[in-house]
Amino acid sequence: MSDADGSIISADGGGIVGNLAPRARVVLPLAPTHEKEHNTIRPTIFPIACWKADDVNFDFDSSFVRPGVAVQTPRFRALMEQHPGAPLSVFGHADPVGNDDYNKALSGRRARAVYAMLTRDPKIWEELFGEGDLKMQHVQAMLKHLGFDPGRTDGKTDAAHADAVKDFQEANGLANDGSAGPATRKAIYKAYMDSVCVDEKGKPFSVPKTDFLAGGKDKGGKGDFQGCGEFNPVLLFSQEDEQRFKTGADKTERDFANAPNRRVMVLLFRPGSKVDAARWPCPRASEGTAGCKQRFWCDAAARQQNSEDQREHQRTRDTFRCRFYQRLTDSSPCERASAFVVARLYDHEGDFIPHSPYTLTLPTGQVFHDIADSRGFVTLPEQPEAEKGLIRWSTVPPRGQPEEVITFTQEIFFEPEGDGDASIRNRLTNLGFTTQADLAQAVKAFFEDYHEEEDLDADGVLGDKTRKVIVRVHADLADKIRTDSDDV
């Protein structure tokens, strides 16, 4: 990445933390004046750092902040410490699917939820509950994360739910009636925020509202948090993919591909920056899209259209419709469409491991230590400058429950090319076929797992059909994996 695009501090499947490119010094010519005249210098505001929380940190079609955000918040805290006195503003974004007004509202609620988490304002989350965005199922998920397992997270209440609520109430000095009413919910929100918004030592931290760009002076959060809806996608599908996704009944692939567009961006501005909320160009998170459209580029309609090829903002700079937001973030390393997917981490039973700690070592000696995202994916900001690496990862015991930790080690290959024998063997290794002595045995093992659902060459022979299926299964990051060895 060039200096003009800033620098990434950390990146994974859950978010990116980075610094924007330094602004060039501006020379201001001043003219001599008469007694009643003067030169006016008005310093502009501009961001200097960013934190992007990706879609995996939120529940589907909701502002509920999932527990996995606890992987991201320590990095954000470290970024704030790197830039003391830098005020914040939160921007929510949605994917370009559906209704403008709906997506504007959803992205605004997500920005509002993050703002409430950072400022420790459970009242805002209770407002979201009253609006139907947060639901009882989310309250149950919070209880479970806090160690008060209600036995279910579907929103239905039963005796086990009531017992979990009572246990939480007793532990927090509340009337233990077993009902998750407003007072109890606010206490749950606060405890949950403290558990997921933490620094690198696991200690809770919060940000005063006065440390936001508009200083918390506007009741609707104008200047401090806003929803940009679907107006600033970091990627737009090609015309072919867009048509295929539209006509397909199953939208799973479309939604997965669109995930980079669904994000919450927190920008840190130059220390000392403040804005008058009344003059801030973005409408409030609760307001409609009219204020956004006033800031559109004159060619916004063309920017919205799908082209022959997929377009990504970081390369083409023509997918954002809002000129104000683009000017803020043009040198932001956080506005990337994707990172390089290295692997997906599984356990010995063939289930992917959310938030698995891992170490990736390259032949050059470079080492990456991090945590997989909530879907078990390991991602890096860029493709490693090596053909392969050695990765070690481990299982993660449930919160508060002692359990044996199992560690796995495997060689992995980055971006195998073609379908030659060497490439096929590397792809099979990535898929978990690691214990077979040679390529022929690995192909037979693949045949055993896939012949019932795929049109493979007979008896495990590596022919054209099997080669194509192996390449596709490897590219699809399918959930299926060999489980006959701990070396998966």
pLDDT attached to residue 308: 95
**Alpha-carbon gap, residue 445 to 424, rounded angstroms:** 13
Query: Across the 488 residues of the chain, what is the mean pLDDT of every consecutive 10-residue run?
Result: 69 85 75 78 85 90 92 95 97 92 96 98 98 96 96 95 97 95 98 97 97 97 97 95 89 84 96 95 96 96 95 92 96 80 82 86 87 78 83 82 83 88 92 89 91 86 91 68 33
Predicted local confidence at residue 338, as pLDDT:
63
pTM of the model: 0.79
Q: Cα 409 vs. chain centroid, distance in angstroms?
A: 26
pLDDT at 480: 40
What is the C-alpha separation between 287 and 220, in angstroms, rounded? 9
- The total number of residues shown for the chain amounts to 488
Rounded to 5 degrees, φ, ψ at 297 are: -65, 155
Q: What is the model's pLDDT at position 487?
A: 30
pLDDT of residue 257: 83
